[in-house]
Amino acid sequence: MLIEGKNAVYEALQNGITINKILFDKAFQNRSDKVISLARDKKIKYEFLPKTLLDKKSKTLHHQGYIAYAIDFEYSEIDDILNLATAKGEKPFIVMLDEVEDPHNFGAIIRSCECAGVHGIIITKNRCAQVNETVFKTSAGAVSNMKICKVTNLKEAINYLKNHNIFIFATDASGQNIYTQKLDCPIGIIIGSEGFGIKPSLVKYCDGVLSLPLKGQINSLNASVACGIVVFEILRQRGQA
């Protein structure tokens, strides 16, 4: 898998992602650069190439002069997410994605979740964006700091979390105003797909449904924007914002 962009490559190096080789823009050869310095310190193979060659190798077309060849992303288990919360002495804070298929949305969600202190994200193996080059680039490297679990069945994951005393909330326009709800509990939030929202079959497993007050003519927000607002409201209620 390729990791592209300065921040994405730097975060991957910082967080132990296995990188076999990095390609840098030849224009960087004689400049001071934190990514090049870190690659040298970690004894990672690297090469300087003309930008035209980097453009040909790039998959995102937004490499910024940094392309790393890395092993495929290593997914976590649900227990890894729960154990992280325990190790930090914090109430579990989890986001689940129901068929969010746009990798740009997925990357933006990861970035917001990482900034808000979410312990992990749960996705499904099918009909959901997977961690790829676009997700790495869009997340600005936050993927390297986020535990992501891939499951076959989201219902089973919900039940597993509920059995661990975690409250599950769906997000939907028909729900209760988020700003009137108490959300400083061990919590899992479900974000629905870009076009269809959360499946009704999942909503019935939830402890509540949250909505964001909207004043415009359009009755929905982009999935990544909605997720960002929700996770930072939870962070605020936990007294950490």
Q: Note whether 212 and 119 are within 8 A (CB).
A: no
Rounded Cα distance, 30 and 22, in Å: 16
Superfamily of domain 2-70: Ribosomal protein L30/S12 (3.30.1330.30)
Per domain, the residue ranges of the chain are 2-70, 78-237
Give the tokens for residue 72.
Answer: 């495929």
pLDDT (tens, 9 = 90+) of the chain, 241 residues, equals: 899 999 999 999 988 888 999 999 999 998 889 999 999 999 999 999 999 999 999 988 889 999 999 988 889 999 999 999 999 999 999 999 999 999 999 999 999 999 999 999 999 999 899 999 899 889 988 998 999 999 999 999 999 999 999 999 999 888 899 999 999 999 999 999 877 788 888 998 999 999 998 887 666 778 999 999 999 999 999 986 5
Question: What is residue 241's predicted lDDT score, i.e. its pLDDT?
Answer: 53
Residue with tokens 């914002």: 241
37-53 as b/e: b if 16+ CB within 10 A: eebeeeebebebbeeee
H/E stretch holding 160 reads: helix 154-162
CB-based contacts of 82: which residues, under 8 Å, 6+ apart? 92, 119, 164
DSSP 3-state of 95:
strand
Q: Note whether 227 and 95 are within 8 A (CB).
A: yes
DSSP 3-state of 112:
helix
Residue with tokens 């090469």: 47
Q: Per-residue pLDDT tens for 95-108?
A: 999 999 999 999 99
> Closest by alpha carbon to 150, among 224, 77, 72?
77
When the pLDDT of each residue in the chain is averaged and rounded to a whole number, the result is: 92
Rounded Cα distance, 111 and 135, in Å: 10
Question: What's the CATH number for 78-237?
Answer: 3.40.1280.10
Question: What is residue 86's predicted lDDT score, i.e. its pLDDT?
Answer: 97
Q: Per-residue pLDDT tens for 56-91?
A: 999 888 899 999 999 888 899 999 999 999 999 999
